[in-house]
Amino acid sequence: MNASSEDAGVDRHLADPRWTVAERVAEAAQRRFPADVLAIAVHGPLAHGDDDGGGDGELGLLVVTYRPDTGPPAAARRVDGVLVDLTVAGADDYLRQARAIGPLWPLTADRYVTTRPLYDPTGWLRTLRDEHLGRLARARPAEFSAAARRAWYRGWAAHARAARLAEWYETDQALLMLGEARLAAATVNGLLSRTYFRDPGDAVRRTGLAGADMTEVGAVLARQAEELTARGQPVDGTVEDLLTS
């Protein structure tokens, strides 16, 4: 490391102590599991380089191992005041996840595309990004529509539950379920437009659902049901449809 790199590292650590914790975890993982660890990276808002958490936000760390079920266990702990969420995955398993287009794709894609390496001697993280982007390039519109329909079901169920709880004056529970409905509706929008988000908060904010009330969320879900039908993925069907789709 040259002088300018050292200065940049010092500035980064002063700006956000999460980097100090991240590098300590990475060094400890390499030291304790030298034969298992393939790559270590930061993901989430901090990886974008424009996160303003000021050290108060969560630190998302990924440890990739050569084989599944090796290396450190996945865990979450607060370390020196920093909440660390440690994901551990075997390389092949994580690549398979990166190739999947499912209902939660808008909330998971960012961690395949945007990472900041702490340890990556073989350039595996570039392979992860390339695999995911290549899968997106090959994906057919029907795959995203089918995933959106599954996400829509989750949103509709949460909204229906929220409405019923509100009728029973179970306000706190109704608000929790409404939050789930907002997020599910946001993921439907993301799937229909092939847009991924940094995190759940980013998802509801960018789709205009952050402050949506019960009626507004219901209207969004109704419009999404119409669009899914137009795309050949109707949310309603017969018993025969259920058993053959």
HEC sequence for 58-94: CEEEEEEECCCCCCCCCEEEEECCEEEEEEEEEHHHH
Residue with tokens 């419009």: 223
* Exposure letters 95-117 (e unless 16+ CB within 10 A, then b): bebbeebebbbbbbbbbbebbbb
What integer is the mean pLDDT of 66-73? 97
Question: Hey, CA dihedral for 222, 150, 203, 165, is it positive or negative?
Answer: positive
Check pLDDT > 60 for residue 115. yes
Go through the chain and tell me how many residues it has.
245
What integer is the mean pLDDT of 132-145? 97
E-state strands within 126-209 = none
Of the pLDDT bands very low, low, confident and very high (cuts 50, 70, 90), residue 181 is very high
The number of angstroms, rounded, from the C-alpha of 107 to the middle of its chain's C-alpha atoms is: 3
Q: What is the pLDDT of residue 15?
A: 67
Q: Which CATH number fits domain 3-138: 3.90.480.20, 3.40.50.300, 3.40.980.10, 3.30.460.10?
A: 3.30.460.10
**Which helix (DSSP H) or strand (DSSP E) does residue 195 occupy?**
none
pLDDT digits (tens, 9 = 90+) for 220-229: 999 999 999 9
Tell me the domain boundaries of the chain. Answer: 3-138, 141-244
Check pLDDT > 90 for residue 7. no
* Contact status, residue 61 vs residue 85, Cβ threshold 8 Å: yes
Q: What is the pLDDT of residue 58?
A: 87
* Contact status, residue 196 vs residue 214, Cβ threshold 8 Å: no
Of the pLDDT bands very low, low, confident and very high (cuts 50, 70, 90), residue 97 is very high
The pTM is what?
0.90
Q: Which amino acid is present at 3?
A: A
